[in-house]
Amino acid sequence: MSDRPTARFLDRSTPPHVLTLVLLAGLSALAMNVFLPSLPAMTAYFGTEYAVMQLSVSLYFAVNAVLQLVVGPVSDRFGRRPVLLASLAIFALATLGTLLATTVETFLAFRMLQSTVAAAMVLSRAAVRDMVPEAEAASMIGYVTMGMALVPMVGPMLGGALDQSFGWQASFLLLLACGIGVLALTWVDLGETATARQTSFRAQLGEYPALLTARRFWGYCLAAAFSAGSFYAYLGGAPFVGANVFHLTPGMLGLYFGMPAVGYALGNYVSGRYSVRAGINRMVLAGTVLSTAGLIALVLVTLAGNESAPVFFGFFVVMGLGNGLVMPNATSGMLSVRPQLAGTASGLGSAIMVAGGAALSALAGALLGPGSGALPLLAVMTASSAASVAAILYVLARERRIGLA
């Protein structure tokens, strides 16, 4: 990318500063999990059942996935900047709607509309791939998502504390303030990174088959999707386990809930340091094996009757570490199969990942009930993580067979 201008902070005539990309990705993560410690309180507030309130997680992921099928091609056609600005504006208005909702149905409708913030995650990664080649992209995405990992770690802690002090609405007030702030920052800093294309939107959508028939894309995509799937199942089930199995207060649940992000930040740091040297395939394999091993160990500990909140949540640091190795490297692999379709690949890959996550999150919520304990959640997470190992082994086997990198 030697012919591109150097990024200058708060100068929208140049590519975006890395801080802007971190905050874009971080806002998407914050919208996903800051309110999770409040799910039991929200269930009582709206006078509904936990399974219904949990739809604010699983349905959010489902709508998120559908939107990402469109966000990538639209941004490849019209540019990253206008799509990001529009999505952030809609997110801010939807967040205001959640605060004004008086019924669970109205709340869920606005919660679904909040999913437009998915563009922030998809296009922050696509912008990185616009700016640098494959190996450097894995490294840079690692650093960007390392910063983003602080948000899932701090978000539930902050959300739990806000719930205890001011009620569940405080988390959505925080989202509204952050959404407006990131929208303003994007306006003044994010210069366009996508190469202008003259094809029609219909032609742009017509390029999906080029990705859908690329086996390397599917290998990387499924490795990322199943690895992330264990985390999405965690999002859907861990609040129930924390509140009903370990009887944690919202504040304590928020504190424990952020444990995977500690490992995720470390994994992203390692990816940033070593992806270029070790190669993306080795990093993905190491991450999937590590996550699966950690989850199997937690299942064995739970079966042995050694359940406690510190042990249960502490093991998820290992899962987070593995995911931190997998996600930036598998994402770089997905985006590099067809570099000219980086936005499309990012959107399609994320849509597949989030759609699977929505299903796993809903499944985890459905399997958990009075007397179920944590084992149903752990079974779903372990199966998903093991599938990610199989996916990257397929990529490695194909590489050995036909000599593809």
For residue 372, the domain's CATH number is 1.20.1250.20
Whether residue 35 lies inside any domain: the answer is yes
Whether residue 182 lies inside any domain: the answer is yes
Span 160-218, pLDDT tens digits = 889 988 999 999 999 999 999 999 999 998 877 766 555 566 666 666 677 778 888 89
Span 104-130, pLDDT tens digits = 999 999 999 999 998 888 788 777 767
Number of compact structural domains in the chain: 1
CA–CA separation, 302 and 286 (whole Å): 24
Whether residue 44 lies inside any domain: the answer is yes
Where in the sequence is the domain holding 312, given as residue range(s)? 18-402
Whether residue 341 lies inside any domain: the answer is yes
Whether residue 336 lies inside any domain: the answer is yes
Record the tokens describing residue 17, joined without a space: 């500063």
What phi and psi, each to the nearest 5 degrees, are found at residue 136? -70, -30
Q: What angle do CA 368, 373, 352 make, to 5 degrees?
A: 45
Nearest to 152 by CA among 23, 260, 268: 260
Whether residue 359 lies inside any domain: the answer is yes
pLDDT at 153: 65
Whether residue 10 lies inside any domain: the answer is no
Question: Residue 314's pLDDT band (boundaries 50, 70, 90)?
Answer: very high
Helix (H, G, I), strand (E, B) or coil at 185: helix
Whether residue 229 lies inside any domain: the answer is yes
CA–CA separation, 219 and 401 (whole Å): 14
What phi and psi, each to the nearest 5 degrees, are found at residue 160? -65, -40
CB 374 within 8 A of CB 245: yes
pLDDT at 2: 45
